[in-house]
């Protein structure tokens, strides 16, 4: 017995959107021109976040040619303090470059 | 002529009094000593009730006035008077006015006198006998002056009180909650009263010589003492009504008052002239007795004065309270400095340096000590603990609880409250037990605190619903250990949210096909599982209806091409696989059946099964991405494991119906190109065959014919394309063979599948199978041969072993070169 397709499920709290990403790949935009993608392990109400197998991308402007470049850093497990988090979303929502 | 009408010859009754009083005095030995000084021999000398004491007294009055060093035996009567008269100072005004007056008269004596009196006290304290300490009971703390020191407001005159009264008072103080126990109560007293008590002692000096001095001399005697009073005098030193000594002091204090008025001071007395201490203690009692006797006489004769005294006393107390407090601190400081100096003088330079360093450290540490009372400390600990403890440790403190379980399985089990208390003590540096070095007491107290804190936490839990306002978006919550900041709690949607869906803003809705929808279902499942697990831990009865609802087993999601069940769609998420066995455990038998049936029916729609087929990766040389391989492994260790266990417990008919479901709803050939599908089919078929062979008696002919029907159906699906079961990277058929990183993995599952397939089939089935995979068989044999020639005999044997798994079913055996009949049965 199938229900109407139009019905949907809701999230009741803003942080539920982060909760949905538990154990999934999450994308974080951080202060200081950084991005981070990894598997979400834990988060709290301050948006402190622990992710594993994280790849951090640091964007910077090259002094010589003035172009924007980036470097990547890998971490097995990393704690991201909440006050540096600008944006957090399911990594599938973000086109990886 | 007698002082205050006292007849020096004394009434005959006085002797009887003497005897009567004896017991009392002996009992109060310690107090006597403390109160009256230890110099007993001298007391006796002076104490002759006017029989020719006149010259002596005169001497003692006049001479010592100018002396600054201690001169034994001469002036303690004056000192006593002085002390007793002190309270009068308060009548004249506050501390400042007293000070001014004092300065006028004895500026340069001020310091030395104070100092010496303190020294004297200290010396006295050192000399105190154990017996006196015993009398004073708990008041004596090692390393501290064993004087009975009590808050002045409460116990204005401790020295005059019998010990049991003091004990009672201490007990009362403890009971009132000010102090946690006797020890701390008396300690607190000792601390605050140290300096003041010293003065009390001198203040209590009995006016012994004064008794035998003729009135006129006595007048003189008292004059000089007055100016100094304000500085030395603590109000608590005042005699009190309920004490035997009282009458004795009464006339004097009164006298002092009258004399003070406007009389210029010529000869300041100083405590310096106190008798030396450390003379025989036993003797103290005797003069004391005499003294008491005399007091009694005085009492009889001077009722009037007694009354007056009472009035005075009230005034002293009222006036001196604030003044006294201020002085206490200063006095205490002075006292310590004094001690320090003395000690330093006795030390060698190195010792002194060490001592100074140590002293600096100590003073740093203790600079702010004592600001918090025991009540304050208790409050702080309780407050901190209330943040730590929780009523629901498994939900709020899960990882610590698990850690504790792991730990206790290694060591001994620990009481929860105890461990928290112990932990707190360890962390806060109190494990040494504080000043009293009583670790057990500290722990005990902390345990009490913890249990109190648990109660507080419970209460807090009840009202932490927070402030809720009608129509407001959220409500104000209170900070807790878990949510340290105040935040707005957004109202949770009620269970009936489905009905209210339309009321929700658009952005809160997820289309059913979206990833967010799947993720939200998973979180919902987790929530339910955690809830049930928590209830199970507490042995509560639980309902799984909500969990069942959260699985969305009967829902359908429409995608652009297909309709799919939400539960099947979420099965490929790692977290769903991980939670599967946990949720499976809560389901009833019927629900389990239903969920298993659903999974097998939709087997090839499960994302990970779909992805695990080698056919997806033709473009990339059939190499399977790592994340897919990881997922396959996870699926095998979680969901497939649950399925296999379930199948192991299920009867023939049910398994048969499951197999039938698989065959009718899925493309069997496609399933066989996946490891998961292959393995599952292997398990099902071998289980069916096992039951058929072992328990065939229990099976009806109908069952058996059903089984052969289903098998035929299965075989039809595979017939003609059996070779495609072999992924190219496992294939040894030269025409399909592909080498990649998968090639070296174990291909045993394929041979197992073929073995069970041929096991269930008849001879013609087996013949078809062998015929179709002939190339594979010979490929393995030749590979085994070359491998062996290359020296890897183990691998070669492994290859053959897998092959023979299949061949042995049909009674065949393969070597590198040949296939022969299986010899074992021959």
The DSSP result for B460-500, as a single string, is HHHHTT-EE-TT-SEEE----SSS-S--EEEPPPPGGGGTT
The Cα–Cα gap between B758 and B658 comes to 20
What crossing angle do the helices spanning B574-586 and B626-637 adopt, rounded to 10°? 10
Hey, are the CB atoms on B575 and A1 less than 8 Å from each other?
no
Identify which of B517, B554, B558 has the shortest CB distance to residue A9: B517
List the single residue in B with minimal CA-CA distance to A13.
Answer: B490
Most A-contacting residue of B516, B580, B634 (CB-CB within 10 A), to test interface: B516
Lowest mean pLDDT among A17-31, A34-48, B501-515: B501-515
Per-residue pLDDT reduced to its tens digit, B203-251:
444 444 444 444 444 444 444 444 444 444 444 444 444 444 444 444 4
Overall fold of domain A15-87: SH3 type barrels. (2.30.30)
Mutation target among A1, A2, A6, A8 for the B interface, most CBs of B within 10 A: A8
- Most confident region among B34-48, B67-81, B200-214, B407-421 by mean pLDDT: B407-421
With a CB cutoff of 8 Å and minimum separation 6, the contacts of B434 are B442
Reported as a single tens digit per residue, the pLDDT across B170-181 is: 555 555 555 555
In chain B, what percentage of residues exceed pLDDT 70?
47
Q: Give the least confident one: B466-475, B561-570, B804-813.
A: B466-475
Q: What is the pLDDT of residue B295?
A: 55
State residue B270's pLDDT score: 45
Query: Which chain A residue shows the shortest CA-CA distance from B566?
Result: A2
Instruction: Answer for the pair B274, B117: CB distance below 8 angstroms, yes or no.
Output: yes
Instruction: For an interface test with B, give the residue of A3, A5, A10, A93 to mutate (most B CBs within 10 A).
Output: A10
- B672 touches B725 (CB < 8 A): yes
Distance CA B29, CA B159 (A): 11
pLDDT of B645 > 70? The answer is: yes
Contacts of A9 in chain B (CB under 8 A): 509-510, 512, 517, 520-521, 524
Rounded Cα gap, residues B52 and B34, in angstroms: 29
Whether the per-residue pLDDT at B110 is higher than 60: the answer is no
Q: How confident is the model at residue B123 (pLDDT cuts 50, 70, 90)?
A: low
Note whether A24 contacts B519, CB cutoff 8 Å.
yes
CA B768 to chain A, closest CA, distance in angstroms equals 42
Closest C-alpha to B203, from B122, B30, B38, B83: B83
Interface touch A12/B523, C-beta < 8 Å: no
Burial of B314 (0-12, 13-18, 19+ CB in 10 A): exposed
The stretches of A1-97 forming alpha helices (DSSP H) are 16-19
- What pLDDT sits at residue B91? 46
Structure tokens at B253: 């204090």
Contact A90 B508 (CB under 8 A): no
B610 burial (CB, 10 Å; 0-12 / 13-18 / 19+) is middle
Show Cβ contacts of residue B702 under 8 Å, excluding neighbours closer than 6 positions: none
Interface list for chain B against chain A, based on CB atoms closer than 8 Å: 483, 485, 487, 490-493, 497-498, 501, 504, 508-512, 515-517, 519-524, 554-558, 563, 573-575, 578
Can you tell me the distance from the alpha carbon of B730 to that of A70, in angstroms, rounded to the nearest whole number? Answer: 42
Q: Count of alpha carbons within 13 Å of B166, Cβ hemisphere only? A: 26
Q: Do A23 and B578 touch (CB under 8 A)?
A: yes
Task: Count Cβ–Cβ pairs < 8 Å, chain A vs chain B.
Answer: 76
* Distance (Å) from the alpha carbon of B652 to chain A's nearest alpha carbon: 28
Contact between B212 and B57 (Cβ < 8 Å): yes
- B-chain CB neighbours of A11 within 8 Å are 508, 510, 516, 520
Cα B615 to Cα B606: distance, rounded to the nearest angstrom:
16
Q: Do B485 and A19 touch (CB under 8 A)?
A: no
Per-residue pLDDT at B314 exceeds 90: no
Residue A79 has pLDDT above 90, yes or no: yes
pLDDT of amino acid B576: 92
Q: Quick check: B578 and A16 CB within 8 A?
A: no
| Helix (DSSP H) and strand (DSSP E) numbers for chain B | 39, 8
Residue B230 has what pLDDT? 43
Q: Which residue has the tokens 């990881």?
A: B630
- Is the separation of the CB atoms in B642 and B584 below 8 Å? yes
CB contact under 8 A, A2 and B556: yes
Q: Is the pLDDT of residue B301 over 60?
A: no
Q: Is B563–A2 a contact, with Cβ atoms under 8 angstroms apart?
A: yes
pLDDT winner (highest mean) among B153-157, B332-336, B439-443, B526-530: B526-530
The mean pLDDT value for B368-383 works out to 81
Dist. CA B389–CA B410, nearest whole Å:
24
pLDDT at A29: 95
Q: What is the pLDDT of residue A36?
A: 95
| Binary contact (A11, B520; C-beta < 8 A) | yes
User: Is B510 in Cβ contact with A9 (below 8 Å)?
Assistant: yes
CA distance B588 to B657: 20
The region of weakest confidence among A17-31, B469-483, B539-553 is: B469-483
Please state the rounded mean pLDDT for residues B477-488.
57
Q: How far is A39 from chain B (nearest CA, A)?
A: 11
| Nearest CA distance, A33 vs chain B (angstrom) | 27
Contact B542, B535 (CB under 8 A): yes
The mean pLDDT value for B452-477 works out to 61
CB contact under 8 A, B519 and A12: no
Grade residue A28 by pLDDT with cuts at 50, 70 and 90.
Answer: very high
Start-to-end CA distance of chain A, whole Å, equals 43
Report the C-alpha dihedral over residues B384, B385, B386, B390, rounded to 10 degrees: 140
Q: CB A23 to CB B575 under 8 A?
A: yes
Closest CA–CA distance from residue A59 to any residue of chain B (Å): 27
B699 falls in which pLDDT band (50, 70, 90)? confident
**Residue A50 has what pLDDT?**
96
Cβ pair B512:A8 closer than 8 A: yes
Helix (H) or strand (E) holding B821: strand B819-821
Length of chain A: 97
Residue with tokens 């304290």: B125
pLDDT band at B96 (very low <50, low <70, confident <90, very high): very low
Mean per-residue pLDDT for B583-590? 90
Q: CB–CB of A24 and B573 under 8 A?
A: yes
Q: Output the average pLDDT for chain B.
A: 66
Residue B481 pLDDT > 70: no
Chain A positions touching B483 (Cβ under 8 A) are 45
Of the listed ranges B300-304, B347-351, B659-663, B795-799, the least confidently predicted one is B300-304
Task: Please tell me the distance from the alpha carbon of residue B385 to that of residue B406, in angstroms, as a whole number.
Answer: 24
Q: For the full predicted model, state whether its pTM sits above 0.90.
A: no
Question: A interface toward B at CB cutoff 8 Å?
Answer: 1-3, 5, 7-14, 16-17, 19-24, 45-46, 90, 92
**Range with the poorest average pLDDT among B42-51, B165-174, B528-537, B753-762:** B42-51
Q: Which candidate from B501, B519, B522 shows the least CB-CB separation from A7?
A: B501
Reported as a single tens digit per residue, the pLDDT across B392-448 is: 677 777 787 888 788 777 665 555 666 667 676 666 655 555 555 566 777 777 777
Q: Is the pLDDT at A55 greater than 80, yes or no? A: yes
- Determine which of B137-141, B507-511, B526-530, B752-756 has the lowest per-residue pLDDT on average: B137-141
Task: Tell me the pLDDT band of B702, cut-offs 50, 70 and 90.
Answer: confident
- B93, burial (CB in 10 Å: exposed 0-12, middle 13-18, buried 19+): middle
Q: Identify the residue with better confidence: B392 or B748.
A: B748
Q: What is the pLDDT of residue B163?
A: 52
Alpha carbon distance B568, B552 (integer Å): 10
Q: Scanning the structure block, which residue is given the tokens 């691998």?
A: B795
């Amino acid at each position: 017995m199938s229900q109407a397709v139009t019905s949907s499920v809701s999230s009741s709290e803003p942080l539920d959107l982060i909760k949905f990403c538990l154990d999934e790949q999450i994308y974080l935009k951080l202060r200081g021109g950084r991005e981070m993608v990894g598997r979400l392990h834990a988060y709290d109400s301050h948006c402190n976040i622990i992710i594993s197998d994280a790849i951090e991308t640091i964007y910077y402007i090259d002094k010589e040619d003035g172009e924007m470049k980036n470097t990547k850093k890998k971490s097995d497990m990393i704690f991201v303090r909440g006050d540096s988090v600008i944006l957090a979303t399911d990594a599938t929502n973000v086109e990886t470059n | 002529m007698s002082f205050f009408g006292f007849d020096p010859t004394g009434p005959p009754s006085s002797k009887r009094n003497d005897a009567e009083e004896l017991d009392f005095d002996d009992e109060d030995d310690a107090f006597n000593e403390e109160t009256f000084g230890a110099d007993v021999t001298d007391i006796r000398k002076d104490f002759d009730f006017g029989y020719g004491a006149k010259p002596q007294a005169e001497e003692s009055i006049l001479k010592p006035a100018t002396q600054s060093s201690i001169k034994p035996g001469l002036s303690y009567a004056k000192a006593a008077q002085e002390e007793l008269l002190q309270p009068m100072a308060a009548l004249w005004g506050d501390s400042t006015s007293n000070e001014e007056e004092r300065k006028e008269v004895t500026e340069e004596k001020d310091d030395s006198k104070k100092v010496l009196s303190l020294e004297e006290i200290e010396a006295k304290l050192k000399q105190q006998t154990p017996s006196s300490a015993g009398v004073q009971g708990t008041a004596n703390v090692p390393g501290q002056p064993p004087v009975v020191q009590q808050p002045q407001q409460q116990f204005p005159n401790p020295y005059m009180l019998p010990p049991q009264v003091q004990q009672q008072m201490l007990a009362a103080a403890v009971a009132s909650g000010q102090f946690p126990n006797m020890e701390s109560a008396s300690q607190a007293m000792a601390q605050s009263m140290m300096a003041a008590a010293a003065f009390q002692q001198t203040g209590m000096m009995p006016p012994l010589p004064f008794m035998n001095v003729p009135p006129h001399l006595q007048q003189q005697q008292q004059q000089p003492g007055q100016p100094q009073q304000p500085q030395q005098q603590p109000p608590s030193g005042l005699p009190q009504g309920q004490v035997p000594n009282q009458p004795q002091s009464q006339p004097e204090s009164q006298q002092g008052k009258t004399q003070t008025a406007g009389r210029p001071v010529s000869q300041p007395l100083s405590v310096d002239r106190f008798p030396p201490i450390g003379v025989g203690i036993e003797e103290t009692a005797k003069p004391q007795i005499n003294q008491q006797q005399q007091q009694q006489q005085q009492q009889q004769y001077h009722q009037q004065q007694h009354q007056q005294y009472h009035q005075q006393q009230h005034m002293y107390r009222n006036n001196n309270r604030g003044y006294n407090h201020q002085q206490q601190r200063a006095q205490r400081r002075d006292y310590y400095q004094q001690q320090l100096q003395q000690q330093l003088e006795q030390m060698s330079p190195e010792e002194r340096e060490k001592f100074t360093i140590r002293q600096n450290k100590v003073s740093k540490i203790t600079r702010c000590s004592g600001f918090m009372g025991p009540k304050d400390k208790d409050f702080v600990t309780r407050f901190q603990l209330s943040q730590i403890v929780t009523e629901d440790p498994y939900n709020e403190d899960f990882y610590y609880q698990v850690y504790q379980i792991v730990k206790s399985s290694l060591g001994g089990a620990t009481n929860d409250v105890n461990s928290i208390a112990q932990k707190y003590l360890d962390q806060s540096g109190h494990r040494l037990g504080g000043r009293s070095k009583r670790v057990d007491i500290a722990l005990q107290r902390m345990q009490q605190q913890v249990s109190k804190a648990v109660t507080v936490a419970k209460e807090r839990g009840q009202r932490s619903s927070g402030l809720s306002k009608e129509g407001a978006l959220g409500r104000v919550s209170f900070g807790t250990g878990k949510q340290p900041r105040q935040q707005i709690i957004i109202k949770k949607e009620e269970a009936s949210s489905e009905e209210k869906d339309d009321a929700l803003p658009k952005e809160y809705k997820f289309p059913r096909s979206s990833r967010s929808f799947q993720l939200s279902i998973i979180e919902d499942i987790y929530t339910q599982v955690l809830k049930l697990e928590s209830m199970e831990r507490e042995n509560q009865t639980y309902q799984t209806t909500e969990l069942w609802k959260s699985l969305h087993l009967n829902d359908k999601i429409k995608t652009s091409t297909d309709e799919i069940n939400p539960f099947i769609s979420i099965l490929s998420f790692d977290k769903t696989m991980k939670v599967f066995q946990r949720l499976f455990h809560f389901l009833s038998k019927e629900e389990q059946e239903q969920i298993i049936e659903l999974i097998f029916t939709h087997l090839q729609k499960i994302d990970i099964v779909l992805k695990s087929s080698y056919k997806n990766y033709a473009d990339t040389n059939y190499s399977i991405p790592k994340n897919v391989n990881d997922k396959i492994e996870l699926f095998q260790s979680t969901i497939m494991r649950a399925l296999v266990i379930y199948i192991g417990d299920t009867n023939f008919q049910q398994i048969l119906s499951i197999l039938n479901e698989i065959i009718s709803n899925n493309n069997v050939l496609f399933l066989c190109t996946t490891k998961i599908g292959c393995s599952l089919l292997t398990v099902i078929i071998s289980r069916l065959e096992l039951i058929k062979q072992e328990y065939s008696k229990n099976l009806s002919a109908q069952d058996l014919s059903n089984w052969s029907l289903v098998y035929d159906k299965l075989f039809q699906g595979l017939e003609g394309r059996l070779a495609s079961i072999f992924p190219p990277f496992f294939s040894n058929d030269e025409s399909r063979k592909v080498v990649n990183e998968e090639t070296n993995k174990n291909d045993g599952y394929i041979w197992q599948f073929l073995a069970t397939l041929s096991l269930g089939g008849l001879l013609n089935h087996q013949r078809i199978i062998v015929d179709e995979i002939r190339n594979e068989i010979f490929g393995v044999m030749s590979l085994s041969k070359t491998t062996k020639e290359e020296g890897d005999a183990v691998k070669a044997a492994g290859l053959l072993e897998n092959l023979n798994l299949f061949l042995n079913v049909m009674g065949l055996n393969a070597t590198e070169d040949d296939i022969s009949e299986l010899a074992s049965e021959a």
